[in-house]
Amino acid sequence: MGQQCQIRATKCQLLVTSLFVMLLGFSLAILTTLTHFGAPFTIISGVSYNANPYRIIHNAVFYSGMCLSMILFLAALLSFIATVKESECLMAMGFFCFAIVFCGLILAAFWRYSNTEVEDAMMDVYDLVYEEVRRNSASFRKEELTAIHETFLCCGKYSPFEEIRGIENGTCPSTLTSTAREDCLQQIQDFMKKHMRYVSTLLIITVCFMVYGMILTSFLWFSIHFSNNLDRKGKYVLRKR
């Protein structure tokens, strides 16, 4: 009786966990879409340099995020169906989906906290555009520089040279010309720090649910595998001698 109650409680926990995992997959898909199509990110990735260092990261993050969100949906669906049907095979597949997402998130977290490649790539793109406009004020990149300034609400970068101030006057938003000007490199860095706080929060919550999901699915898999009298499973068959 005590074992059956424990199994029932584990099933209920896994059903609730599956619903939360589905919501996390939906949240990850939304965050990935906003990151890919958001104005601050598209304006940097859209700079027409053949060797744009941010464009590769921009596309890689989008495809990786969408893949992880689809695996989260699959893990939630498999776990839900496996719990209802008490299927050993589906339970194992749900466990492996949780494990795949867990490994992917751990790798993403390690890559994120061990370097600042994303911020550096965005600032490198801005530097390339800025320096080209500084060398040639008639360059077509002047429009790209103006678009970056308007998107991040910033104005150039700190420099003691007056020639750069002339460039900024022609490319900065009108609302910033008469007030204190914001360094664009600092603005980009601050924006990315704020954005990564949301990413880190979602990542930590998802990792916790992946660990919990793996524990629940492994427990139920062993229960299904080694027990023939689970709650609502199977019937006794009487054989005549």
* Integer CA distances (angstroms), 223 to 16, 97, 214, in order: 19, 19, 14
pLDDT for 132: 86
pLDDT for 72: 96
pLDDT for 231: 47
Burial class of residue 124, CB neighbours in 10 A (0-12, 13-18, 19+): middle
Residue 1: pLDDT band by 50, 70, 90 thresholds? low
Token digits of residue 86: 């008490």
DSSP string, 22-36: HHHHHHHHHHHHHHH
pTM score, whole prediction: 0.83
Give the sign of the dihedral formed by CA 73, CA 74, CA 75, CA 78: positive
Instruction: Please give the Cα distance from 83 to 77 (Å, whole number).
Output: 10
* Integer CA distances (angstroms), 230 to 98, 129, 215, in order: 24, 66, 18
241: amino acid identity, one letter: R
Percent of residues, the chain, with pLDDT higher than 90:
50
Q: Where are the alpha helices (DSSP H) in the chain?
A: 2-37, 39-45, 53-85, 88-114, 117-135, 141-152, 162-171, 174-177, 184-226
* SS3 category, 237: coil
Which of the residue ranges 12-21, 112-121, 167-176, 214-223 would you say has the lowest mean pLDDT?
167-176
Domain ranges of the chain: 1-134+142-155+184-221
